């Protein structure tokens, strides 16, 4: 039997995340209506920093091919995929003042901080507008300790649609599964989905009616929340129209959803849901926050007993703990690539039109000034990016330049991303994309 209190709590949580999406003005249109190349971009953000020594092959000091070198142990799972890999060192994010984390600034390329709202949109959201349109333009998932994911199943620290407009990450796979696949499920999941849908429809109607009695100064803000419920219900209806298609991609619900032994059980099924959203075409922009952009995080499921802030105070290079975490990340990246390679697209596979961006929301380490911000790219996004190589830059180009490069690959003719000419004079010695990355 359904528990009404739990249902209402779930609705409030789900709508909280969806409301943030509605306020972004994101589009809910089918990609099949477009004749554009179906490009897609995935961001994988690991907290606590990304030490360049954990990804740069030993002895490589200058740019060159990866063909005859061995990848470091933390990313050894990527060895069979070196021809798709591009390791980049020498970008900077000094202007983001990361310290514990740059938060929204990591993907925004601006100053961020704990509890500081976003000052502009982030690159993942901007790409979701530039890439071919999908039912759900942008999906964010966040991985953390069981305690944090259960207590805060949605959290916004990394992505934003504009100044003061955060986009929430989904951290409870049960809620996310219902949002994406509740309409094609059976049993209790279907009952919960139907009850939630009916309740949301009633709330939308009630909210619209009650809002008319508010003072004019409050009606606009209230109207945004009403629009949020409309968008939630609209997404549900649109997903229902492609239910036969979605059945081919929906993950199997197993004990890891309701009875996870470790937090990594939820991490794994969240990744499955993110992969299914990409491969089914529900979305073309996915942001994964391992540690959810904060200073916490837990990986007991891979044999790491310590968790949280202390992990950031450890040296990552040659550290068995961080080797386990980074290897786990690398296996996740392989799972994404393998899933995309199994889906035919055009003259190749979905992976041929995809780019995966792996980095940290905290540059190279905890308590950093952001002087070096390592990045790994996997894939070439329909032939746009060089692969199978290592590029060493001179530290004079900011992460904003990388984001400009991504926008260029997505078809946007821009020279700067979230950086004024005044800031650029201080933090960027060039204009436009990072040419060393493009074919």
Q: What mean pLDDT value characterizes the chain? A: 85
pLDDT digits (tens, 9 = 90+) for 34-78: 456 789 999 999 999 999 999 999 999 999 999 999 999 999 999
pLDDT digits (tens, 9 = 90+) for 347-391: 999 999 999 999 999 999 999 999 999 999 999 999 999 999 999
pLDDT digits (tens, 9 = 90+) for 243-270: 888 889 999 999 999 999 999 999 999 9
- In this predicted model, which residue has the larger pLDDT, 6 or 252? 252
Into how many domains does the chain fold? 1
pLDDT digits (tens, 9 = 90+) for 21-30: 433 333 333 4
Would you state the structure tokens that stand for residue 337, as one six-digit string? 């690539």
Alpha-carbon distances, residue 21 vs 76, 138, 222 (angstroms)? 37, 9, 15
287 neighbors 139 (Cβ within 8 angstroms): yes
Q: Is the pLDDT of residue 307 over 80?
A: yes
Give Cβ neighbours of residue 288 (< 8 Å, ≥ 6 apart).
42, 43, 44, 45, 140, 141, 142, 143, 271, 274, 332
CATH number at residue 167: 3.40.720
Instruction: Please report which confidence band the pLDDT of residue 218 belongs to, taking 50, 70 and 90 as the band edges.
Output: low
pLDDT digits (tens, 9 = 90+) for 311-350: 999 999 999 999 999 999 999 999 999 999 999 999 999 9
Q: Is the pLDDT of residue 293 over 90?
A: yes
Instruction: Please report which confidence band the pLDDT of residue 32 belongs to, taking 50, 70 and 90 as the band edges.
Output: very low
Chain-centre distance for alpha carbon 55: 21
Where is average pLDDT lowest: 191-205, 364-378, 406-420? Answer: 191-205
Model pLDDT, residue 215:
62
Q: Is the pLDDT of residue 19 over 70?
A: no
Instruction: Please report which confidence band the pLDDT of residue 201 belongs to, taking 50, 70 and 90 as the band edges.
Output: low
Instruction: Please report which confidence band the pLDDT of residue 404 belongs to, taking 50, 70 and 90 as the band edges.
Output: very high
Model pLDDT, residue 213:
56
Rounded to an integer, what distance in angstroms lies between the CA atom of residue 38 and that of residue 50?
A: 30
Instruction: Please report which confidence band the pLDDT of residue 281 belongs to, taking 50, 70 and 90 as the band edges.
Output: very high
| DSSP state string for 38-63 | --EEEEEEETT---GGGTSPTT--S-
Q: Is the pLDDT of residue 87 over 50?
A: yes
49: left (phi over 0), alpha (psi -120 to 50) or beta: left
Q: Phi first, then psi: give them for residue 59, nearest 5 degrees.
A: 90, -10
- In this predicted model, which residue has the larger pLDDT, 34 or 398? 398
Q: Is the pLDDT of residue 216 over 80?
A: no
Give Cβ neighbours of residue 423 (< 8 Å, ≥ 6 apart).
95
Enclosing domain of residue 394: 4-437
Model pLDDT, residue 22:
37
pLDDT digits (tens, 9 = 90+) for 120-156: 999 999 999 999 989 888 999 999 999 999 999 999 9
pTM here is 0.86
């Amino acid at each position: 039997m359904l528990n009404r209190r739990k249902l209402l709590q779930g609705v409030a949580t789900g709508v909280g995340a969806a409301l943030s999406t509605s306020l972004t003005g994101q589009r809910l249109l089918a990609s099949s209506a477009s004749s554009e190349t179906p490009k897609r971009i995935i961001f994988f953000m690991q907290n606590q920093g990304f030490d360049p020594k954990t990804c740069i092959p030993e002895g490589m000091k200058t740019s060159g091919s990866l063909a005859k070198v061995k990848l470091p142990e933390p990313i050894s799972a990527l060895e069979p995929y070196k021809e798709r890999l591009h390791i980049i060192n020498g970008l900077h994010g000094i202007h983001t003042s990361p310290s514990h984390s740059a938060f929204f600034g990591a993907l925004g390329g601006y100053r961020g901080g704990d509890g500081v709202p976003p000052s502009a949109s982030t690159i993942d959201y901007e790409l979701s507008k530039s890439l071919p349109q999908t039912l759900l333009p942008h999906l964010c998932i966040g991985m953390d300790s069981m305690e944090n994911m259960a207590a805060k199943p949605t959290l916004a620290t990394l992505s934003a649609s504009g100044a003061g407009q955060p986009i929430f990450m989904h951290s409870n796979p049960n809620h996310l599964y219902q949002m994406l696949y509740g309409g094609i499920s059976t049993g209790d999941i279907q009952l919960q989905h139907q009850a939630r849908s009916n309740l949301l429809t009633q709330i939308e109607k009630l909210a619209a009616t009650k809002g008319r009695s508010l003072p004019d100064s409050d009606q606009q803000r209230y109207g945004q929340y009403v629009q949020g419920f409309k968008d939630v219900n609209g997404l549900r209806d649109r997903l229902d129209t492609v239910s036969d298609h979605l059945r081919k991609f929906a993950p199997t619900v197993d004990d890891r959803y309701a009875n996870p032994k470790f937090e990594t059980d939820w991490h794994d099924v969240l990744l499955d849901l993110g992969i299914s959203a990409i491969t089914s075409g529900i979305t073309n922009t996915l942001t994964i926050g391992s540690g959810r952009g904060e200073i916490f995080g837990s990986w007991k499921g891979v044999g790491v007993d310590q968790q949280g802030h202390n992990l950031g105070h450890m040296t990552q290079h040659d550290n068995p703990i961080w080797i386990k975490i980074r290897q786990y990340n690398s296996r996740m990246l392989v799972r994404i690539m393998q899933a995309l390679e199994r889906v035919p697209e055009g003259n190749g596979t979905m992976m041929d039109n995809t780019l995966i961006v792996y980095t940290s929301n905290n540059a190279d380490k905890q308590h950093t000034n952001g002087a070096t911000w390592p990045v790994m790219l996997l894939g070439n996004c329909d032939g746009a990016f060089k692969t199978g190589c290592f590029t060493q830059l001179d530290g004079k180009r900011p992460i904003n330049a990388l984001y400009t490069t991504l926008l260029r690959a997505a078809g946007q003719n821009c020279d700067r991303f979230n950086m004024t000419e005044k800031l650029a004079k201080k933090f960027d010695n060039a204009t436009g994309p990072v040419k060393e990355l493009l074919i």
